[in-house]
Amino acid sequence: MSKFISLILFLAFAGCGLATASEARQPYSSAIQKAHAASSPLHVRKVINHAHTLLGIPYLWGGMSKEKGFDCSGMLVYLFKQEANIHLPRTTADMLKAKKLPVARHALKPGDAVFFRTQGSVRSNHVGLYIGDNRFIHAPRKGKTIRIDSLENAYWKKNYTTARRF
């Protein structure tokens, strides 16, 4: 009987360590992000998936193509037109003027446009695509490439202004 109990205890404790190292390191918020993605409309998932394929493409002021590059608003215009047939205004300023209600930061959903005031500007002059888990994809500035950044980064947190859902 004691061998049986020992075997049960051994199996119970051994089972506690069955998760792989990468699974153990995966943050809880990753599961939340997957749940948000699964509940997002199809066009939003397509926009976000396409945005990931643009990572590494150079910033180009006025750019709106994979071949030449993108500026921040050009990237969103391109993505929403290609994947959702939604025609966004061309500039960050005009996107903000669009008849869309602001989205509170705590209510952000994947696919929302997030706006920032950068380089000492008094108004919002930069936009990115919120992808969930406090992260966004954007074309930062000349000399940089499209990348993912965190809204929790001190710079972006300080310069965040608003969001819109298109």
pLDDT at residue 1, rounded to an integer: 52
What the chain holds in terms of domains, given with CATH numbers, is 41-164 (3.90.1720.10)
Q: Would you list the DSSP string of the chain?
A: -HHHHHHHHHHHHHHTT-S-HHHHHS-HHHHHHHHHHHHS-HHHHHHHHHHHHTTTPBB-TT-EETTTEE-HHHHHHHHHHHHH-----SSHHHHHHSS--B--GGG--TT-EEEE--TT-SS--EEEEEEETTEEEE--STT-B-EEEETTSHHHHHHEEEEE--
Tell me if residue 16 is catalytic: no
* 138 tagged catalytic: yes
The pLDDT tens digits along the chain (166 residues) read 555 444 343 333 333 333 333 333 333 344 444 544 555 799 999 999 999 999 999 999 999 999 999 999 999 999 999 999 999 999 999 999 998 999 999 999 999 999 999 998 999 999 999 999 999 999 999 999 999 999 999 999 999 999 999 9
Active-site hit among 16, 72, 87, 106: 72
